[in-house]
């Protein structure tokens, strides 16, 4: 028996654990191009045991996007290494800015301001953008946040901010509370999800529809992204959680 590992587990269990994952079901908010999930009962206890069938897109609920989701000839979900899924967690809080401007788009200046307060973002980190958008769950209307013309207004990352994080700070992966990496206003302007493509083109993953980032410090926590190993999958619902320092 490895006492070192046992002690490590005991130490971790003494810390606070925060679930970063939404509970999802057929009535949950989801990307508009997808059908709602279907949960069906195959057998009930009167028949001997309870078993269910689940039908949903890979990008449903809190989920992990593999590089192949947007970029040809890149890695599938089952090709991600275990150690890639456990990373130091950095949380950039822009919830106040988003409260006054739902079209907020994170740029380099916001990252530099964060670093001025909390220190430089370490290489190999998972960087999450806190917007408190997750507090709109499970309302479809609040999550989509459409105006009278049917245009959504939701925050996101700029390509320049992501380039800074991956190329200047050598971060490993990112996550956010919204459906998309790009802010809705950038998507309308560009006609494509350029920020999402950029992230996945770095041969890494991202986690979308995170929650409870308001319970995690700016630095010092660790994120675990536990995801099923579906064959040649572009993404799948994930159980993400943080262990606090």
Closest CA to 28 of 63, 64, 60: 60
Is pTM beyond 0.85 here? yes
Count, residues in the chain: 245
Residue range 147-166: average pLDDT? 98
Token pair of 134 as six digits? 């997750």
Q: Return the residue matching tokens 């579906």.
A: 230
Tell me the per-residue pLDDT of 27-74, one tens digit each, with 9 for 90 and over: 999 999 999 999 999 999 999 999 999 999 999 999 999 999 999 999
64, two tokens:
């992990």
């Amino acid at each position: 028996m490895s006492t070192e590992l046992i002690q490590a587990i005991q130490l971790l269990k003494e810390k606070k654990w925060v679930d970063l994952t939404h509970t999802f079901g057929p009535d949950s908010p989801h990307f508009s191009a997808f059908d709602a999930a279907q949960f069906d009962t195959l057998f009930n206890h009167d028949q001997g045991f309870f078993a269910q069938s689940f039908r949903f897109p890979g990008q449903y609920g809190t989920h992990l996007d593999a590089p192949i989701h947007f970029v040809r000839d890149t890695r599938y979900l089952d090709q991600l290494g275990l150690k890639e899924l456990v990373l130091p967690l950095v949380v950039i809080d822009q919830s106040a800015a988003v409260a006054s401007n739902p079209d907020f788009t994170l740029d380099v200046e916001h990252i530099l301001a964060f670093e001025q307060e909390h220190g430089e973002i370490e290489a190999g980190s998972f960087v999450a953008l806190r917007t408190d958008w997750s507090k709109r769950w499970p309302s479809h209307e609040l999550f989509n946040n459409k105006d009278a013309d049917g245009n959504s207004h939701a925050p996101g990352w700029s390509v320049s901010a992501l380039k800074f994080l991956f190329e200047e700070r050598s971060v490993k992966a990112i996550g956010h509370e919204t459906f998309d990496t790009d802010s809705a206003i950038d998507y309308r302007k560009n006609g494509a999800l350029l920020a999402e493509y950029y992230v996945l083109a770095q041969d890494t993953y991202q986690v979308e529809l995170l929650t409870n980032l308001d319970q995690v410090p700016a630095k010092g926590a660790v994120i675990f992204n536990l995801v099923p190993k579906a064959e040649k999958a572009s993404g799948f619902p994930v159980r993400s959680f943080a262990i606090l320092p």
